């Protein structure tokens, strides 16, 4: 199969390219050549910018395009319109927070998507990420109404994750000590190992599947507390989890996902957040490796990093300590 990947040199895109090559697909990458340009020296790389410079894609054809880096509808429309007559199927990577009503538990593929409406804002933020992705999906289905695949994953974890959302916790808990833990240990958590996601995606591609799929795991109810204990076991530490109330964190203007990964501003008000229904994908073959395996592999990856590595998510130790001290004072005041 001839496959064009828009992106292909960072985390999910890299795994997609590697798996495709391993299974003897003909892979072409299209990107600006700025992230990890040294990767995949023996495959075709087309240079350009998906926002206005698609010249290298013209007069070419592929069986499938995989879009791993589409965030703005206007930009996605450029590639979808150009490739409409040159690609048989368009696979778009969306998100599990693409839905309009995140208060609904068990959101399925049939639920209404969020939209930006008449809002022209194209800056991707934690607030408009879902609506932008929703409008991107509408663009893809407009140009590929019968031959699209839309994947809505949750948090993607695994070795090589450049977002550090999952890796931060595995690494931080392995360090031990008092851990600032957001919300409560009963808060739900959904995540999927990038290796499980990629294998399943190729499986449904080969099976000729179309349409939209929620794709997050595990296939049981996982909590933040259980995840933290798994990290504790992997790191063999006596970490002490201090669960800090979400309102308290909001009052201190803590940045969700960036400073405290896996914690979403207002997420504890959104009952459907981290409770997405992936039954359709599971029925079509999606399987999950044990959480402990993913955690152990991510910890090994984190330990392999250079000491000078600058984390893209997570609290610095000084700020974490200050918030914990403030929280303890707050508890003392309440107890009086």
What tokens does 131 get? 């609506």
pTM, 2 dp: 0.95
Torsion, Cα 226 181 242 104, to 10 degrees, reads: -70
According to DSSP, the residues that pair with 157 across neighbouring strands are 193
C-alpha torsion 15→19→25→30, nearest 10? 0
Q: Count CA atoms closer than 13 A to 53's CA, side-chain side.
A: 7
Contact 58, 79 (CB under 8 A): no
- What's the rounded Cα separation, in Å, for the pair 82 and 65? 12
CATH fold for the domain made of 2-153: Rossmann fold (3.40.50)
Domain limits, CATH 3.40.50.720, in the chain: 2-153
Per-residue pLDDT of the chain (336 residues; tens, 9 = 90+): 999 999 989 999 999 999 999 999 999 999 998 888 889 999 999 999 999 999 999 999 999 999 999 999 999 999 999 999 999 999 999 999 999 999 999 999 999 999 999 988 999 987 899 999 999 999 999 999 999 999 999 999 999 999 999 999 999 999 999 999 999 999 999 999 999 999 999 999 999 999 999 999 999 999 999 999 999 999 999 899 999 998 899 898 888 888 999 987 555 457 888 999 999 999 999 999 999 999 999 999 999 999 899 999 999 999 999 999 999 998 877 655
pLDDT given for residue 268 in this prediction: 47
CA distance 325 to 9: 41
Helices of type H across the chain: 11-22, 73-83, 129-143, 167-175, 194-206, 224-235, 246-251, 279-283, 291-304, 317-335
Q: From residue 199, give the alpha-carbon distance in Å to each of 23, 115, 121, 247.
A: 11, 30, 35, 39
pLDDT at residue number 330: 87
Cα 209 from Cα 233, distance rounded (Å): 39
Closest CA relative to residue 74, chosen from 161, 135, 165, 155: 135
The sheet that has 87-93: what strands, in order across it?
Answer: 44-47, 26-31, 2-6, 62-67, 87-93, 148-153, 211-215
Q: What angle do CA 72, 73, 76 make, to 5 degrees?
A: 90
- Confirm if 96 and 272 have CB atoms less than 8 A apart: no
Q: How far apart are CA 137 and CA 276, in angstroms?
A: 18
- What per-residue confidence (pLDDT) applies to 265? 58
In this predicted structure, what is the pLDDT of residue 190?
A: 96
């Amino acid at each position: 199969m001839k496959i064009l990947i828009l992106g292909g040199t960072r985390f999910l895109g890299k795994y997609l390219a590697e798996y495709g090559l391993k299974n003897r697909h003909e892979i072409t990458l299209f990107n600006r050549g700025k992230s990890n340009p040294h990767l995949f020296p023996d495959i075709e790389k087309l240079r350009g910018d998906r926002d206005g410079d698609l010249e290298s894609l013209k007069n070419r054809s592929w069986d499938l395009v995989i879009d791993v880096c589409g965030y703005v509808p206007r930009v996605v429309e450029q590639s979808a319109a150009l490739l409409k007559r040159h690609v048989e199927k368009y696979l778009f990577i969306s998100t599990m927070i693409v839905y309009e009503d995140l208060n609904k538990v068990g959101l399925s593929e049939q639920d209404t998507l969020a939209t930006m409406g008449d809002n022209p804002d194209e800056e991707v933020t934690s607030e408009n990420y879902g609506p932008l992705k929703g409008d991107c999906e509408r663009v893809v289905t407009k140009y590929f109404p019968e031959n699209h695949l839309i994947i809505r994953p949750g948090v993607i974890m695994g070795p090589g994750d450049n977002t550090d959302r999952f890796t931060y916790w595995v690494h931080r808990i392995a360090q031990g000590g008092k851990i600032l833990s957001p919300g409560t240990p009963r808060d739900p958590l959904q995540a999927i190992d990038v290796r499980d996601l990629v294998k399943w995606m190729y499986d449904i591609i080969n099976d000729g599947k179309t349409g939209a799929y929620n794709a997050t795991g595990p296939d049981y109810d996982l909590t933040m507390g259980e995840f933290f204990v798994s990290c504790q076991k992997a790191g063999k530490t006596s970490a002490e989890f201090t669960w800090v109330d979400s309102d308290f964190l909001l009052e201190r203007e803590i940045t969700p996902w960036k400073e405290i990964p896996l914690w979403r501003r207002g997420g504890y008000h959104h009952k459907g957040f981290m409770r997405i229904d992936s039954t359709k994908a599971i029925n079509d073959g999606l399987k999950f490796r044990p959480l402990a395996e993913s955690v152990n592999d991510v910890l090994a990856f984190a330990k392999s990093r250079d000491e000078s590595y600058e984390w893209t998510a997570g609290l610095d130790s000084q700020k974490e300590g200050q918030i914990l001290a403030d929280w303890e004072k707050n508890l003392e005041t309440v107890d009086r």
